[in-house]
Amino acid sequence: MTRSISVNGAAHPLPNDPRVSLLDFLRDGLRLTGTKKGCDHGQCGACTVIVNGIRINSCLTLAAMHEDDEVTTIEGLGTPDAPSPLQQAFLEHDGFQCGYCTPGQICSATALLDEIASNWPSDASGDLVGTLTLSDEEIRERMSGNLCRCGAYANIVAAIRDVAEQRT
């Protein structure tokens, strides 16, 4: 029986080596190089992907742990001809400079918007029971695991806020 993982809607056999990280499987095994290897210690967020609707650092987990899971990478969110709303907003708000962290930022922001839609509170949420409002403080708290060495944070927050406002 072949063990598999779904990546961007397509099934792929898992690697035979159980020591392969999800990050290395995506980059080296599937050649999906949008997901970046930054620190390889879960501290920078450059490797952020979405697994079953939850954002994770792909450098901190083994591919073998994700049998039958649905993984979405930056390549699964949009294309150059049809970017996702967040990808378009990052362009419009200049939410990147060097661009290295951008795939992880966009994957994280995509999950952030789904968290808000599902009413998941964060440490910055003022009300843990009522409907959440997406303030800049809330965005910064939820994006705190994604670092940008270039310092494009204000533009990243503006891009996320713009897409959140379009959804309501």
pTM of the model: 0.92
Q: Which two tokens stand for residue 77?
A: 């969110």
pLDDT along the chain (168 residues), means of 10: 92 96 98 96 96 97 97 96 96 92 97 89 75 86 93 95 89
The sheet that has 54-57: what strands, in order across it? 10-13, 4-7, 70-72, 48-51, 54-57
CATH fourth-level superfamily of 85-167: [2Fe-2S]-binding domain (1.10.150.120)
Q: Which sequence spans correspond to the domains of the chain?
A: 4-76, 85-167
pLDDT (0 to 100) of residue 124: 77
pLDDT (0 to 100) of residue 1: 64
Contact 112, 143 (CB under 8 A): yes
Residue labelled with tokens 């400079």: 97
The answer regarding whether domain 4-76 maps to CATH 3.90.420.10 reads no
Contact 73, 26 (CB under 8 A): yes
What is the amino acid identity at position 20?
A: V
Query: 131-157: buried (b, 16+ CB within 10 Å) or exposed (e) per residue?
Result: ebebeeebbeebbeebbbeeebbebbb
- Alpha helix positions (H), 7-72: 22-24
What is the amino acid identity at position 82?
A: A
Distance (Å, rounded) from C-alpha 131 to C-alpha 127?
8
